[in-house]
Amino acid sequence: MRLKFLPSFVKRRGRITKKQAHSLQKLDKYSIKTLSEIISLSEDYNYCVLEIGFGNSEYLQREALENPSTLFIGSEVYLSGIGTLIGAIEENKMNNVRIFPEDARILLDQGDENIFDEVVILCPDPWPKDRHHKRRLLQSEFIEMLLKTLKWNGRLYISTDWEHYADEIKANLNHPSLKKRNSLKESRASTKFENRGIKEGRKVYIFDYIKTKLQSN
């Protein structure tokens, strides 16, 4: 399928370790290509989570190990991160993880069935230069696409350590089907990128929403 979206990433080759390269040989075993596959797999689980842009997969690994009855779908385009996750899946025998190794929008654009109980996006590329803002992932059009696959009362959890991007995300989440979660603050461990932002003096902004049905008049 030819990508019809403006890429929100730069597809660099990057350095791949021997261990990652070895793990990548098993990508077909753990990858999924369609929403239909996820629907079928999710029948054996109590909950289904999509993480978009899992990076080095530290968050996904931790959550998958702690929640074996939850199906985790990780979307990532960088081979180094994918190789790291496959290695962890094999080492820890995590049967509840599958990988979509392409732009997540290709997956989300396949249909409008309510599949995911939760979608997580942690520190997406902020594209800080003004001329690159159009490449940011969390545009209003993307939010609409994402909501089509999020279940009613499903959770949308986003973080960023860039203030101007946070302002844009907040504006784009001003959607009639979304409302902030009224819950006690959860102690989620920070990721590598969140910690780096804090170390460099930036605040981490958290957006924690649920999808609600529109109220009829």
For 201, the token pair is 């003096």
- How many Å apart are CA 31 and CA 98, to the nearest integer? 5
**E strand or H helix that includes residue 51:** strand 47-52
Strands (E) across the chain are located at: 47-52, 70-75, 97-100, 116-122, 150-160, 178-180, 205-211
Q: Which of 28, 125, 167, 208 is catalytic?
A: 125
Helix or strand (DSSP H, E) at 196: helix 192-199
Residue 161 a catalytic site member:
no
CB 110 within 8 A of CB 148: no
Residues catalogued as catalytic: 125
